[in-house]
Amino acid sequence: MDEQRRTMPRLGEPVPAFEAMTTRGRIRFPGDYKGKWVILFSHPADFTPICTTEVLTFGARTERFRALNCELVGLSVDSRNSHIAWLRTIRDRIEYRGMRGVRVEFPIIDDVGMKVASLYGMIQPGESETAAVRAVFFIDPTGVLRAMICYPLALGRNFDEIERVLIGLQTIDAFRIALPADWRPGDDVIVPMKGDDGEKQPEGVTCCDWFFCTKPLPKEEVERKIGKGVPVGA
């Protein structure tokens, strides 16, 4: 296994570009998604139970992600025909947590040759030489990688956390703030450090010490700015 197959893209840098066939036709990535956020995620294989629950869940939440100006792009190291047959089975036969009859409308990349999986470091030899781990890449509207989460083959993803990360990144950009541990829309946010003790902070800012200052950011403000009025968070 060469080093290129082990290396993932770096945070804060443009993601690798590629062209690929998908269940929705050929795409040029990330060029076709300029101006939108993208969640690029990988699966070990089609017709496997954990992957099925995840694709079903992404399918059921597609419109919610689109309301946040985010498109979904999946990947599995199987063929386009296999993907299409799998998606048909999900729609016609699979029920999970009350979700059934779900039509998956986002593209899933045909990556039999593992070209894209290798380009993005999704092949982790310690897990498998031939299957992509459950990677999630959060890519901003300029094509820059902003966050990523990796899961082992046997552990399904937490979709509430995926949505929280997306909303958090958009909130950071929109309000030029930082977010504390376990932040949810409506919680207080972190503001820049005070600097000199004599420097007066804006109204509404609370400082426990010179390096730790917070301020309220109502959930409604987050919804107006990034969700176009669509409810965000739990």
Q: Which residues are catalytic?
A: 51
* Torsion sign (Cα): 40, 42, 46, 52: negative
CA distance 119 to 115: 6
- The residue behind tokens 């470091």 is 121
Q: Tell me the C-alpha distance between 21 and 24, whole Å.
A: 8
Q: Which residues of 180-210 are buried (b: 16+ CB within 10 A; e: fewer)?
A: eeebebbbbbebeebeeeeeeeeeeeeeeee
